[in-house]
DNA sequence: GCCGATTTGTCCGTATGTATC
DNA sequence: CGATACATACGGACAAATCGG
């Protein structure tokens, strides 16, 4: 169960929207109505609504109401997003998944590794390469670098199962925030050796850093996806920035 | 100037972080200190902080403080993100940009177009194809579909300049929310004819819908980027969902 | 281990402003 | 103009986590 009130309100409204009890383009009940329905304060319903707005479920209109803009997606390809383990993504997409460990070594960050990953020079790391298969098809090449002092005692068995499970359940560390960037890169020899590329000469690459609840970076990761299994979804609000003074007319 | 208090606080703190007056891994001043500094209520500073947290600038730690986790990026390639026009992206990356209009026609949404774009069947649309060049190098192929009744009187001149400027400044319509998805697709003949592909056989494709301040979709867009000019950045918070009851141990 | 001080997290009630109808 | 609805802001209360003595 959700611990907090705003979260349970958020989830209930979200369910109403996804089930189309509140259909696309309709207006949500007003804040005052929601206050009565959930018997809570205005701040609390507003918090729930703003979470829905950030996710692209609704759009508040000043003085008019809150419009539902959620539409059911069409997940034809493998949907990744957020901070998810491969396990979680695979389960969400209801696909069978296996993992093959290619490399499991240790490494000390030098200047080059540091610039690329963000780990300070000298950090002791685990260096892991894995191939992920979906329904028997090897289509993701995963590279992980973990800070050895923050994620100690990794084993090959853990790497084959789920490292995130180990971190969260065994070590009790909380994974909170990730910064990711998405690029498209030409395949390398090691991609070609390990993945079924189906003639693609590029891969979708999601790379970035992961932080724990203390705001300390403990992982650098790079996932190289075969294009046909890759789809990343996102929503964005436009913050109209006044362009200061660029002397351009 | 920012109209709202929380926004000016947000901007000032953001500036402190970007200028490294508040360096990576340091602790922000406590909420009570910020209340004094900005002479405002606690809710207001908390709102500013939570905005910074969403953007991956800081990470609040219960009972301990708020840690700065911002690091200067290394934008080697063309950075896109959010709801931006090509103009805005190009200016942010300080690159020269030109636009060539390939196609400018009208269209009525049939079943196929509707399923693909989300416009209702029968909607009258403008159909625009443009090639964008950066520093003289044609590297983005843009497809736009606009609802003719919401974005009326488009001309070729506007398409070559900036449609978003026209919408916001001339029509006075506010662009608020966009839903985007990022995929990687094989090149088509029309890509090959119009872009300098440099041997790539795939493109990074950003497609999605754009909504105005009334929560009405007025645009479907598809931007096909040559891989070496494409980089998308994002941050994500992990919401630990209790996995209900998957009978998995 | 306990206790108090500090700090962030949740929630409430209220007042005022602004946009819409 | 008044009623409704969202936006901003304030102040207060209590809870939960952390830290130092």
Can you say whether the dihedral through the CA atoms of B220, B226, B229, B230 is positive or negative? positive
Question: Do A118 and B71 count as a contact with CB atoms less than 8 A apart?
Answer: yes
Share of chain A above pLDDT 90, in %: 77
pLDDT of residue B76: 62
Which tens digits make up the pLDDT trace of B117-156? Answer: 999 999 999 999 999 999 999 999 999 999 999 999 999 9
Q: Looking at residues A165-172, what average pLDDT do you find? A: 90
Do B64 and B81 belong together in one domain? no
Q: List, as one string, the DSSP characters of A216-240.
A: -EEEEEEEEE-GGG-EEEEEEE---
Domain assignment present for A244: no
Q: Is the CB of A67 under 7 A from strand D?
A: no
Domain assignment present for B248: no
Residue nearest to nucleotide C19 (CA to C1'): A63
pLDDT of residue B1: 64
Residue A24 CA, nucleotide D7 C1', distance (Å): 24
* Shortest Cα–Cα distance, A159 to chain B (Å): 17
Q: List, as one string, the DSSP characters of chain A.
A: --SSHHHHHHHHHHHHHHTTSS-TTPBPPPHHHHHHHHT--HHHHHHHHHHHHHTTSEEEETTTEEEE--------S-EE-SS--HHHHHHHTT--EEEEEEEEEEEE--HHHHHHH-PPTT-EEEEEEEEEEETTEEEEEEEEEEETTTS-S--HHHHHS-HHHIIIIIS-PPEEEEEEEEEEEE--HHHHHHS--TT--EEEEEEEEEEETTS-EEEEEEEEE-GGG-EEEEEEE------TT----
Domain carrying residue B30: 5-68
Question: Do B77 and A186 count as a contact with CB atoms less than 8 A apart?
Answer: no
Do A50 and A84 belong together in one domain? no
CATH code of the domain containing A21: 1.10.10.10
Q: Is the CB of A31 under 7 A from strand C?
A: no
Domain assignment present for B247: no
pLDDT of residue B86: 87
CATH code of the domain containing A149: 3.40.1410.10
- Say which range, A79-88, A226-235, B219-228, has the weakest mean pLDDT: A79-88
Domain assignment present for A191: yes
Q: Is the CB of B63 under 7 A from strand D?
A: yes
Task: Return positions of chain C under 7 A from a protein CB.
Answer: 6-15, 17-21
**Domain-terminating residue out of A48, A68, A88:** A68
**Domain-terminating residue out of A18, A44, A68:** A68
Do A169 and A191 belong together in one domain? yes
pLDDT of residue A105: 97
Nearest-by-CA chain B residue for A26: B215
Considering only CB atoms, B236 lies closest to which of A91, A180, A184, namely A180
Question: Do B233 and A179 count as a contact with CB atoms less than 8 A apart?
Answer: yes
Do B41 and B162 belong together in one domain? no
Do B159 and B213 belong together in one domain? yes
Question: What does the H/E/C string look like for A161-195?
Answer: CCHHHHHHHHCCCCEEEEEEEEEEEECCHHHHHHC
Instruction: Evaluate if residue A246 carries a pLDDT over 80.
Output: no
pLDDT of residue A241: 58
Do A32 and A100 belong together in one domain? no
Domains: count for chain B: 2
Longest dimension (CA), chain B: 62
Domain assignment present for B240: no
- Which chain B positions have a beta carbon within 8 Å of A235's beta carbon? 177-180
Do A48 and A89 belong together in one domain? no
Q: Looking at residues A7-17, what average pLDDT do you find? A: 97
Question: Do B184 and A176 count as a contact with CB atoms less than 8 A apart?
Answer: no
Residue nearest to nucleotide C12 (CA to C1'): A41
Which tens digits make up the pLDDT trace of A141-154? Answer: 999 999 999 999 99
Q: Is the CB of B30 under 7 A from strand C?
A: yes
Mean pLDDT across chain B: 91
Domain assignment present for B243: no
Q: Of the ranges B67-76, B116-125, B161-170, which is most confident?
A: B116-125
Domain assignment present for A240: no
Do A26 and A64 belong together in one domain? yes
Residue nearest to nucleotide C13 (CA to C1'): A41
Instruction: Evaluate if residue B244 carries a pLDDT over 70.
Output: no
pLDDT of residue A249: 36
Domain assignment present for A242: no
Do A156 and A178 belong together in one domain? yes
pLDDT of residue A189: 97
Instruction: Evaluate if residue B246 carries a pLDDT over 80.
Output: no
Question: Do A183 and B214 count as a contact with CB atoms less than 8 A apart?
Answer: no
Q: Looking at residues B152-181, what average pLDDT do you find? A: 93
Do A85 and A64 belong together in one domain? no
Do B212 and B118 belong together in one domain? yes
pTM of the shown model: 0.91
Do B191 and B128 belong together in one domain? yes
Q: Is the CB of B65 under 7 A from strand C?
A: yes
Question: Do A214 and B240 count as a contact with CB atoms less than 8 A apart?
Answer: no
Spatial separation of the C-alpha atoms in residues A182 and A234, rounded to whole Å:
12
């Amino acid at each position: 169960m959700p611990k907090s009130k705003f979260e349970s309100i958020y989830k209930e409204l979200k369910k109403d929207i996804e089930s189309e009890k509140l259909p696309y383009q309709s207006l949500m009940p007003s804040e005052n109505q929601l206050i009565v329905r959930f018997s809570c304060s205005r701040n609390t319903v507003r918090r729930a609504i703003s979470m829905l707005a950030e996710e692209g479920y609704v759009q508040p209109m000043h003085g008019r109401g809150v419009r539902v803009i959620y539409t059911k997606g069409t997940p034809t390809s493998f949907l990744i997003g957020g901070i998810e383990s491969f396990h979680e993504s695979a389960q969400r997409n209801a696909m069978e998944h296996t993992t093959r460990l290619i490399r499991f070594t240790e490494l000390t960050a030098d200047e080059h590794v540091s610039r690329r990953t963000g780990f300070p020079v000298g950090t002791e790391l685990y260096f892991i390469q894995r191939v992920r298969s979906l329904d028997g098809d090897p289509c993701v090449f995963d590279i992980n670098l973990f800070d050895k002092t923050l994620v100690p005692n990794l084993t090959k068995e853990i790497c084959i199962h789920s490292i995130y499970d180990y971190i969260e359940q065994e070590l009790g560390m909380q994974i909170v925030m990730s910064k990711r960037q998405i690029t498209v890169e030409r395949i390398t020899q090691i991609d070609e050796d390990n993945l079924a590329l189906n003639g693609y000469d590029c891969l979708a690459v999601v790379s970035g850093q992961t932080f724990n609840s203390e705001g300390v970076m403990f992982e650098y990761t790079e996932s190289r996806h075969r294009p046909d299994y890759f789809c990343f979804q996102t929503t964005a609000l436009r913050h109209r920035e006044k362009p200061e003074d660029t002397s351009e007319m």
